[in-house]
A and B are shown apart, each in its own frame.
Chain A
């Protein structure tokens, strides 16, 4: 048996993803986002979270999935990692579950078109439910953003 861990489950393009609960500050409903010019397209802008200005990232865009209009279910998950605080726009966030760290397998090379390095692994829950665990520090890796900018530029 590995360690028990609590995971926030959120939906993104018909897949289910997980982030360790201790990395998550809060989950917010969509609020007006102020666009920040000259940033990669997946950075949607900044929001006012109780007096603090926070950048929000569209995870779909970050993972190169097709972006979609926010819906009733869309949420902003505020995460903190690597000294950074960032909001993730996700399609839905609706569950907190316990998983066993042993049940996380290393990720297959390609999951739903997302580069494997963004993923910590895939956890199998129950019979046929798969949870993709995010590697937050890679998702928030700024060096890559700089590379992206150079490519776009």
Chain B
């Protein structure tokens, strides 16, 4: 079998399962009593184990197997979760993740995980602490509790319906003789008999495990049959080399106790009930049962696996490269559309114009769909943060509550791919520098647990991501001093700065306010990296802070990086595009209305005075000089709450343009953010409005 065909599927699914493991483990940590979460975790781990074993990644499989053993004890209430177990499980997840990463990178997924395996095994054996729950062997003596909880809701409802319909439902423990050579074959014969006389709803271990002789000497089955209890027992015992078959008829109540318990319904007391009801199982040593999620459980896993939060939506996985190819083809189409529109307006034939207009509408719809295809919920970035925050808080000895809202907000995949690192940086910053250590918080009269909000929301053509903490806020005096010390600003400049400008200083290169250099942040590669990264994405970042109350970092990002609406303008012979998102309005100004104030050109605009700049000077244009004109077209652009008027030669039109990069050879060109191809095949440069506003 060619494994490569399955590799990408394996990687995708492993990542999904790891993510779900992470999330659910976190949920469990906040609510350790909720065993239904353990079930979900167990299923994920089990599926992961199966997949990796199939793909031949043995280390992955064996590590998940050890995790599964521990989880099995937990979900059967033989083991209580505690910090040590959580930490070990989280460590195992990390190891699994790095193995999967290795596989993604083309590696073999091998890793030395022996220390984690040892910890897991010690948990499993109950050695890691003296007062640990009954050991595995002791548990097996209790026997029946191994069967307890093995039915999921689906299976119990099937059984229940059968009972109500008047069929007999039996719980049967089959034990094979010790000297039996072909256990699987005997088991098969038993199954064959059971299936001839009725239906097997559930077996433990699963049918597959039994077929592969992965069971000790006995197995348990739940059957619906028309036979009587005696007939069933005789029938099974007639199979040679079967030592015993213990058959118990089940009624609604005992089934309920056995069944897929609703969260928290299972208390130790009804464990006893079950032991009583099914004491027949006493001889069984099936407690160390293999994974219970038989194939029949799989559909239930799919629907209930996500904690019921996800509605069933039909999706397919598509290679990202295909989406990119689609996007590229579409942008070619868009260029041709613009060209066709131009031609149609020149030729002026009604039929042609109508066809072109229709095509424009269709391609507009197409554009929406293509862009939507590339939209991914920020969840895919956010969902790794709870874990990160947990670990960080632990290592910093702080208590942090991370509140995520708006995880469903969608962003272009290209933005998603890039936004992770800056967000990690900002979160670490909030945790390390923002939220105070517990004693400080108490002294300040704040709750012991710090809250960090991570929000995402749409607004206009932008997506905002905010990180807000209730920590100590920015110490403006300290910021100023450090900025002066690090030559970011001079003493004179510092005196003139507004509060907002002082806050923004923390984004300056080589700035770090941490007194101590800690592992988490404050290594000098501070927030300037964040700002640079975000501005290359076409967004910007601001910070608000109230000292003693907390800080809020706000990132504004464009919805998409590939197609934008822009205003095309002319400068003499050259054409430029200005993104519509930053244009406030366009107008015409007479030369004499431009004033010179303190050496700067200014103009009056709606009651305020705003700077006016010459685009031809900024872009060193040789073919246009606005000073030759009596009247000049201006475009008023905005960055934050600052406005600037830009003088241009002529407006051409408003268009959807496809963003293209200038290539790696030309990077960081001042005032230019990229290029686009116009309908006539020429390249027009895209103005970066942010660079025009200082």
- A-side residues, CB < 8 A to B, are 32, 34-39, 43, 45-48, 51-55, 83-86, 140, 142
B682 touches A32 (CB 8 A): yes
A55 touching B574 by the CB < 8 A rule? no
Question: Which of the 9-residue segments B142-150, B327-335, B356-364, B417-425 touches chain A?
Answer: B327-335
> Known interface pairs A36-B685, A37-B620, A48-B682. Does A43 touch B666 (Cβ–Cβ under 8 Å)?
yes
Q: Of the candidates B620, B661, B685, which one forms a contact with A34 in the assembled complex, judged by CB atoms under 8 Å apart?
A: B685
Query: Per-residue CB proximity of B657-694 to A under 8 Å, as 1/0?
Result: 00011111110011110010100011111000000000
Q: What are 28 of the A-B contact pairs (CB < 8 Å)? A: A32-B681, A32-B682, A34-B682, A34-B683, A34-B685, A35-B574, A36-B666, A36-B672, A36-B685, A37-B619, A37-B669, A38-B670, A38-B671, A38-B672, A45-B683, A46-B666, A46-B685, A47-B683, A48-B683, A51-B677, A52-B660, A53-B660, A53-B662, A53-B683, A54-B663, A55-B662, A85-B663, A86-B665
- Which 7 A-B residue pairs are closest in the complex by CB-CB distance? A34-B683, A37-B619, A53-B660, A53-B675, A55-B665, A37-B620, A55-B666
C-alpha gap A144/B671 in the complex (Å): 22
Partner of B331, one of A32, A51, A84, A86: A51
The interface residues of chain B lying within 8 Å CB-to-CB of A55 are: 662-663, 665-666
The reply to whether B662 and A46 contact each other, CB–CB distance below 8 Å, is yes
Interface residues of B in 552-582 (CB under 8 A from A): 574
CB neighbours (8 Å) of A48 from chain B are 677, 681-683
Cα A140 to Cα B685 with chains together (Å): 22
Chain A residues with Cβ below 8 Å from B662 are 36, 46, 53, 55
What's the tally of chain B residues with a CB closer than 8 Å to chain A?
Answer: 27
A140 and B665 form a contact (CB under 8 A): yes
Contact (Cβ within 8 A) A51 B670: no
Which B-chain residue is minimally distant from A47 (CB atoms)?
Answer: B683
Roughly how many angstroms separate A54 CA and B670 CA in the complex, as a whole number?
18
Bound complex: CA A119 to CA B317 (Å): 50
Given contact pairs A47-B683, A48-B683, A39 touches B669 in the complex (Cβ within 8 A): yes
Q: Are A34 and B675 in contact (CB under 8 A)?
A: yes
Q: Is the CB of A46 within 8 A of B671?
A: no
Is the beta-carbon distance between B675 and A51 smaller than 8 angstroms?
A: no
Q: How far is it, in angstroms, between the C-alpha of A53 and the C-alpha of B674 when the chains are bound?
A: 9
Q: Which residues of B contact A47 (CB under 8 A)?
A: 683
Q: Is the CB of A38 within 8 A of B620?
A: yes
Q: Which chain B residues border A142 with CB–CB below 8 Å?
A: 665
Q: How far is the CA of A147 from the CA of B670 in the complex (A)?
A: 17
List which B619-665 residues lie within 8 A (CB) of chain A: 619-621, 660-665
Complex contact B666–A39 (CB within 8 A): yes
* Chain A residues near B328 (CB-CB < 8 A): 51
A37 to B621, CA, bound (A): 8
Q: Indicate whether A46 sits within 8 Å of B670 (C-beta atoms), given known contacts A51-B328, A51-B335, A53-B677.
A: no
* A51: contacting residue among B332, B618, B665, B685, CB under 8 A: B332
**A38 / chain B contacts, CB cutoff of 8 Å:** 619-620, 669-672
CB distance from A57 to the nearest CB of B (A): 8
Residues of B within 8 A of A37 (CB): 618-621, 669-672, 685
- Residues of chain A lying within 8 A (CB to CB) of residue B664: 83-85
> What are the interface flags for B316-350 relative to A under an 8 Å C-beta threshold, 1 for contact and 0 otherwise?
00000000000010011001000000000000000
How far, in angstroms, from A47 to B660 measured CA to CA in the complex? 12
Which chain A residue has the least Cβ–Cβ distance from B676? A53
Q: How far is the CB of B350 from chain A (nearest CB, A)?
A: 31
Task: Provide the residues of chain B in CB contact with A51, threshold 8 Å.
Answer: 328, 331-332, 335, 677
Closest to B661 in A: A53
Q: In the complex, how many angstroms separate the beta carbon of A25 from the nearest chain B beta carbon?
A: 13
Cα of A54 to Cα of B664 in the assembled complex, Å? 9
User: What is the CB-to-nearest-CB distance from A142 to chain B, in angstroms, rounded to a whole number?
Assistant: 7
The CA of A32 and the CA of B574, in the complex, are separated in Å by 11
**Are A84 and B677 in contact (CB-based, < 8 A)?**
no
B332 to chain A: which residues have CB within 8 Å? Answer: 51
* Complex partner residue of B684 from A34, A43, A83, A86, CB under 8 angstroms: A34
Report the minimum CB–CB distance from B415 to chain A (whole Å): 21
Determine how close the nearest CB of chain A comes to the CB of B661; give it in whole angstroms. 7
User: Do A34 and B574 have beta carbons less than 8 Å apart?
Assistant: yes
Docked pose: A32 CA to B677 CA in angstroms: 12
What are the interface flags for B589-627 relative to A under an 8 Å C-beta threshold, 1 for contact and 0 otherwise?
000000000000000000000000000001111000000
- Residues from chain A with Cβ under 8 Å of B663 in the complex: 46, 53-55, 84-86
Given contacts A38-B672, A48-B681, A48-B683, 14 further A-B contacts (CB under 8 A): A34-B675, A34-B682, A34-B683, A38-B619, A38-B670, A38-B671, A39-B666, A46-B675, A46-B685, A53-B675, A55-B665, A83-B664, A84-B664, A142-B665
